Structure 1
Amino acid sequence: MAHKHVVLGGGTGFIGKRLCKTLLADGYEVTTISRMPAVKSMTWHDLEKDGLPEGTTAVVNIAGQNVLDPTRRWTPGFKQNVWNSRINTTAACVRAIERATVRPRVLVSISGVSHYAMGMKPNTEDSKTIEFDFMSRLCHEWEKAANLSDNSICRSVKIRSGVVIGRNGGMIQSLILPFWLGLGGPIGDGKHDLPWIHIDDLCNLIKFAIEKPEVTGVLNGVAPELITNYDFTKAFASALVRPAIFPLPEFVLNLIFGNERAVLLTKGAKVIPKRTMEVGFQYQYPDIRSACKNVARLF
């Protein structure tokens, strides 16, 4: 079997830990880049100074300060941190690839779906993206930072991820307690769209992007089923066998998170994984009921 060595930016977070497991189980060697030195790990400073480890076949960057950390206030400093932890790490990965004597075969970078227009029309990978608020500007600059030079022989894949559904972090971790206590409910009227993906599907999609030489450009990292916040609430409550009758007013989330980041929970666009399906990716959890059942089973 050919040598497979992935250098992974952001390997210690919610998605990173899961991705490490997925890759290691499939015979990959994984070196994570994080802020603190550890075994099988390098720091961002090491990457700048020494470049990529010898034999790197793929670089994946999913680094980024957790935006929806309720313990952190939405201050200018925290906003800057959210921005830099994504843009600067992605740019550092690109610089390391461009400098490498033997270039890795692929760079897989992640961003979000916040720069798709909201409304009745579904967005595919070909839809125009727009900059209209902090999150949309962030996604735009994040993807720009992942651009490799024109003469680069390294393939580039940009995955635009929806809300990630998984047991150990993200939205589910914030919601599990109120839902478990029977205090869950939709956000506002629950009618806004919620682009989402199960964490296993996202990790498998990243692995798929590494392994398929014909895959390049943008892939929407969302499940094929279009749902609203209300649909999610119903599926999650039903998987936990709990009622979900207490709507959470939008203003409460705006108070907890601040308006600019609460939009991740209170607003959403319709996003379809058109190219993701065209290139042949198979979902384990294509619908929200199966995804919620899987997550609820772990309690």
Structure 2
Amino acid sequence: MRVVVGGGTGFIGTALTRLLRSRGHQVTHVSRREGEDRISWAELSRSGLPLCDAVVNLAGENVLNPFRRWGDAFCQEIISSRVETTRSLAKAIAAAEQPPRAWVLVTGVGYYRPSPTAEYTEDSPGGDFDFFSRLVSSWEAAALIPGSPTRGVVVRSGVVLGRGGGVISQLLLPFRLGLGGPVGSGLQPFPWIHIQDLCGIVCHALEKESVRGVLNGVSPSSPGTSSGGFARALGAALGRPALLPLPAWAVRAVLGPQRAGMLLEGQRVLPQRTLDTGYQFIFPELPAALRDIVA
């Protein structure tokens, strides 16, 4: 299978590319610069989609970058890096003489309203209550190609855990020093997924012709995981205490109130349709997932 991956040069994209190639698929990235096995977004606009069997979009500015001040300019970058890249790929798919068979977009569980008690499946409503939920709605709407023969799949990902990037890379040093702990109250749900499973779900969606629509990219045990439970599990995997909380006021001071909500609130999300399609999780439980990452 020939796969075009938008924004596939970061933490998740590198892992997905490795998995795709290990399964015998060819990968071309769409990124800011051209190069070996790459085309630029400008080239995509000029020349259209390379001949391929499937397209995946992973592009998106890092929302939780603490070095970027929250403001209109950064918000626009966040929107453009997701919605416009998705729209560009959807437009190229629609214009292709030989359309790809599958089109997979990875978004986020921020679509669902944070709640300490509500549980959400792929059929649950959302997408209309704050900046991030509306962003996901616009992002997913940009992927729609009415009348296209290309099969569409959206994977709404939780917090991605893996080596070399994501939230773990920011937490390892303080936790190794014994300075880790829960964020805020520690009671908020923590929807998570191991990077091998997120990439596995994307490959599953590409390779299984019957898969279409929304899949929740979270671990089956994720609904029972709190922020405090995650901190304790990470401390246990490292053999360190996890007793020092990061106060909510400090999170708000660094990230601003809108972004802070992503860490101080959470959703209990179930991968119901993901499991129904036959995907088998490699790391369904948090302790094993963390041991694999920090080993």
Query: Which range, TM-score by smaller chain?
Result: over 0.9
Residue in structure 1 matched with residue 35 of structure 2 by the alignment: 38
> CA offset at residue 38 of structure 1?
1.5
Give the 5 Å matches for 1:48-197. 48-54=45-51, 56-119=52-115, 120-149=117-146, 151-197=147-193
SS in 2 for 1:111: strand
Aligned counterparts of 2:86 and 2:127: Cα–Cα separation in 1: 21
Q: Deviations over 1:129-188 (max 9, x none)?
A: 142111111111111111111x21000000000000111111111111111110000011
SS in 1 for 2:182: coil
Aligned counterparts of 2:255 and 2:27: Cα–Cα separation in 1: 34
Are the equivalent residues in 1 in contact too, given 2:103–2:152 (CA < 8 A)?
yes
Instruction: Could you tell me which runs of 5 or more consecutive residues in structure 2 were left unpaired when the two chains were aligned.
Output: none
Residue in structure 1 matched with residue 4 of structure 2 by the alignment: 7
> CA offset at residue 75 of structure 1?
2.6
Are the equivalent residues in 2 in contact too, given 1:68–1:170 (CA < 8 A)?
no
Matched, 1:258 2:225: no
Residue in structure 1 matched with residue 246 of structure 2 by the alignment: 248
SS in 2 for 1:219: strand
Q: Deviations over 1:179-206 (max 9, x none)?
A: 1110000011200001110001000100
Matched, 1:235 2:241: no
Residue in structure 2 matched with residue 292 of structure 1 by the alignment: 290
> CA offset at residue 121 of structure 1?
2.0
SS in 2 for 1:15: helix
Aligned counterparts of 2:58 and 2:208: Cα–Cα separation in 1: 19
> How does the TM-score come out when normalised to structure 2?
0.97
Q: Deviations over 1:203-230 (max 9, x none)?
A: 0100000000000000000001021101
Q: Which runs of 4+ in 1 moved over 6 A?
A: none
Aligned counterparts of 1:257 and 1:37: Cα–Cα separation in 2: 33
SS in 2 for 1:244: coil
SS in 1 for 2:13: helix
SS in 1 for 2:120: coil
Q: Deviations over 1:247-298 (max 9, x none)?
A: 100111111111111222111111000000011101011011111111111x
> CA offset at residue 76 of structure 1?
1.8
> How does the TM-score come out when normalised to structure 1?
0.96
The residue type paired with residue 232 of structure 1 is F
The residue type paired with residue 33 of structure 2 is M
> CA offset at residue 26 of structure 1?
1.0
The residue type paired with residue 286 of structure 1 is P
Aligned counterparts of 2:169 and 2:262: Cα–Cα separation in 1: 15
Aligned counterparts of 2:133 and 2:159: Cα–Cα separation in 1: 15
SS in 2 for 1:37: coil
Query: What root-mean-square deviation, in Å, do the aligned CA atoms of Structure 1 and Structure 2 show?
Result: 0.9
> CA offset at residue 66 of structure 1?
1.0
Aligned counterparts of 2:129 and 2:264: Cα–Cα separation in 1: 16
Are the equivalent residues in 2 in contact too, given 1:158–1:219 (CA < 8 A)?
yes
The percent of aligned pairs where both chains have the same amino acid is 45
Aligned counterparts of 1:111 and 1:269: Cα–Cα separation in 2: 15
Aligned counterparts of 1:118 and 1:65: Cα–Cα separation in 2: 22
Are the equivalent residues in 1 in contact too, given 2:61–2:82 (CA < 8 A)?
yes
Are the equivalent residues in 2 in contact too, given 1:63–1:86 (CA < 8 A)?
yes
Are the equivalent residues in 2 in contact too, given 1:219–1:273 (CA < 8 A)?
yes
SS in 2 for 1:114: helix
Instruction: Could you tell me which runs of 5 or more consecutive residues in structure 1 were left unpaired when the two chains were aligned.
Output: none
> CA offset at residue 118 of structure 1?
2.7
